[in-house]
Amino acid sequence: MKLHYSASPDTTNSMTTEQLRDTYLIQSIFQPGQIIAHYTDLDRMVVVGVQPAGAPLKLGNYKEIGSSYFLERREIGILNITKTPGTVTVGGNKYELGHLDCLYIGLGEQDVTFSGDTQFYCISTPAHMKYPTAVLRGEDIKTPPIGDPVNANKRVIRRYIHQLEGGIKSCQLVMGCTTLETGSVWNTMPSHVHSRRTEVYLYFDVPQDQMVVHLMGEPNRTRNIMVQDRDVVLSPGWSIHSGCGTAAYRFVWAMGGDNQKFEDMDAVEIKDMR
């Protein structure tokens, strides 16, 4: 398990491209037959890529987590990011996950196994009580698009794990997926920050040979990281997290921190960005 230590806003502002990528970018989390986990000190979020490929994979434990099993004091959100269905077994219960279906598992589950020729993207945060394990299917979230093709940012934001009506309840994890319409390339513009919460983005369905210019940093001194398909970017509470692609794409966003209020954002006006 690789550890990621965050940097201050000042340090971040003077980092080289390599240092920025080293600190904020996580790559290659999907490898056939492997579970790959990265631990970040940002709200103790753990980023996990699971690709069963042939044989089932059991969620193991890591010394860094410091408990007797992974979910002893943690919760986890899981999204099937491919069109091939997969199965997650929790204790004796089997959950079939199709394309963009989400499973939440609360604390206290010792036996979690993944199978199917697919890729599961998971985010785990510390938890203090058990919320029920629950599935929410992507096709059952009927959110109207936001944005406008005129601004190249028409997109559908699907919220899975959140505290409002219809969401899967959790201790602190908030998780969803945003899909850009063909011809739209901007996400989260105008930008925002939310110092109460860390956010993690997994960009996926970025076409081959295309990229997303991910914008980060304080609103008045932005930095950028070029990302490609299935790259993960960490966003501390003080950092914006926006992107502009050379083609449409999707991304999974997940947050952990002091509150679960999606709408609690400090908006940044475009004219104030530097």
Q: What angle do CA 123, 141, 229 make, to 5 degrees?
A: 45
Helices (H), 135-259: none
At 134, list the tokens.
Answer: 């629950």
Asked if 155 touches ligand D54 (CB under 6 A), the answer is yes
Asked if 157 touches ligand D54 (CB under 6 A), the answer is yes
CB of 14 to ligand D54, least distance (A): 25
Site for Zn ion in 162-221 (CB under 5 A): 199
Q: What angle do CA 101, 240, 136 make, to 5 degrees?
A: 10
Q: Residue with CB nearest Zn ion?
A: 199
In angstroms, the CA 155 to CA 192 distance is 17
With left for phi above 0 and alpha for psi between -120 and 50, is residue 66 left, alpha or beta? left
How many residues bind Zn ion (CB under 5 A)? The answer is 1
Asked if 43 touches ligand D54 (CB under 6 A), the answer is no
CB of 102 to Zn ion, least distance (A): 18
Cβ nearer to ligand D54, comparing 51 with 159: 159
Q: Contact, 48 vs 77, CB < 8 A?
A: no
**List of residues 6+ apart from 3 with CB closer than 8 A:** 38, 39, 40, 41, 64
Asked if 178 touches ligand D54 (CB under 6 A), the answer is yes
CB of 18 to ligand D54, least distance (A): 26
The residues binding ligand D54 (CB under 6 A) are: 155, 157, 176, 178, 187-188, 199, 241, 253, 265
The residues binding Zn ion (CB under 5 A) are: 199
